[in-house]
Chain A
Amino acid sequence: MSIVRPYGDTTGDGMVQLSFTLPIPHDKRAEGAALQLAAKMGMDPAMLVHAKQMGDGFTFFVVYGRVTHLVDTDKVEVVERDFPLLSAKEVNALVKRRLRRKLSVVGACIGTDAHTVGIDAILNVKGIAGEKGLEYYRELKVTNLGAQVTVPELVAAAQRERADAVLVSQVVTQRDAHLHNTREMSAAFREALPADKRPLLVVGGPRFDESMAGELGVDRIFGRGTTPGEVASYLVHELVQS
Chain B
Amino acid sequence: MAKLDLDPALVSRARELARRAGQPVVDLARSHTTVSVERAVLRLAGVTGADPDGIPWVNRLVDAVVDEIGLEHGVALPVFDALAREGLPATDLTLLAQKAAAGSVRFGVPTGKAATAARKVASKATAVGIRAVDRKRAERDRLIKRFGDPKQRPWIYLIVATGDIYEDIPQAQAAARAGADVIAVIRSTGQSLLDYVPEGPTREGFAGTYATQDNFRLMRAALDESSRELKRYVRLTNYASGLCMPEMATLAGLERLDMMLNDSMYGILFRDINPIRTFVDQRFSRQVHARAGIIINTGEDNYLTTADAVDEAHTVTVSQLLNEFFAHEAGLADWQLGLGHAFEINPEVPESFRLELAHALLARELFPDAPLKWMPPTKHMTGDVFRGNLLDGFFNLAGTMTGQGILLVGMMTEAVVTPWLSDRDIALQNVRYVLGAAGGLHEDFVPAPGGFIQQRANQVLGEAITLLEKIEGDTLLQAIADGTFGIMKRPPDRGKGLAGVAKHADDYFNPATDLLEAA
Contact = CB atoms under 8 A, between A and B. Distances in A.
Q: Do A and B assemble together?
A: yes
Interface of A: 19-21, 52, 54-55, 58, 60, 115-117, 120-121, 124-126, 128-130, 132, 135-136, 138, 144, 146
Contact of B422 (A21, A115, A129): A21
B486 A54 contact: no
Given A55-B178, A130-B415, A135-B488, A120 B422 contact: no
A120 B420 contact: no
Interface in B434-483: none
Contact of B415 (A120, A129, A136): A129
Contact of A136 (B193, B306, B378, B425): B306
B271 interface: yes
B422 A60 contact: yes
Contacts of B488: 125, 135
Nearest to B426: A60
Contacts of B487: 136, 138
Contacts, number: 55
Given A55-B174, A120-B193, A138-B487, A126 B271 contact: yes
Contacts of A58: 421
A146 B271 CA distance: 12
Contacts of A117: 189-190, 206
Nearest to A126: B270
A124 B425 contact: no
B269 interface: yes
Contacts of B206: 117
Contact of A116 (B174, B178, B190, B421): B190
Dominant secondary structure of chain A at its interface with chain B = mixed
B422 A121 contact: no
Most B-side CB within 10 Å, residue of A21, A54, A120: A54
B31 to A, nearest CB: 27
Contact of B271 (A55, A124, A130): A124
A7 B380 CA distance: 28
B496 interface: yes
A21 B420 contact: yes
A135 B415 contact: no
Contacts of A55: 174, 177-178, 421
A130 B174 contact: no
B272 interface: yes
Contacts of A146: 496
B306 A120 contact: no
Given A135-B488, A136-B487, A54 B189 contact: no
Given A130-B378, A136-B306, A125 B422 contact: no
Contacts of B422: 19-21, 54, 60
Nearest to B302: A126
A120 B270 CA distance: 11
Interface in B389-418: 414-415
B178 A54 contact: yes
A136 B414 CA distance: 21
A130 to B, nearest CB: 5
Given A135-B272, A144-B272, A128 B189 contact: yes
B270 A54 contact: no
Most A-side CB within 10 Å, residue of B190, B378, B420, B486: B190
Interface in B161-218: 174, 177-178, 189-190, 193, 206
A189 B379 CA distance: 39
A54 B425 contact: yes
Contacts of A116: 190, 193
B214 to A, nearest CB: 22
Contacts of A120: 189-190, 193
A212 B305 CA distance: 36
B77 to A, nearest CB: 31
Contacts of B414: 130
A164 B170 CA distance: 49
A21 B189 CA distance: 28
28 contacts: A21-B421, A21-B422, A52-B425, A54-B421, A54-B422, A55-B174, A55-B177, A55-B421, A58-B421, A60-B425, A116-B190, A117-B189, A120-B189, A120-B190, A121-B189, A124-B271, A124-B272, A125-B270, A125-B306, A126-B270, A126-B271, A128-B189, A130-B378, A130-B379, A135-B272, A135-B488, A136-B306, A138-B487
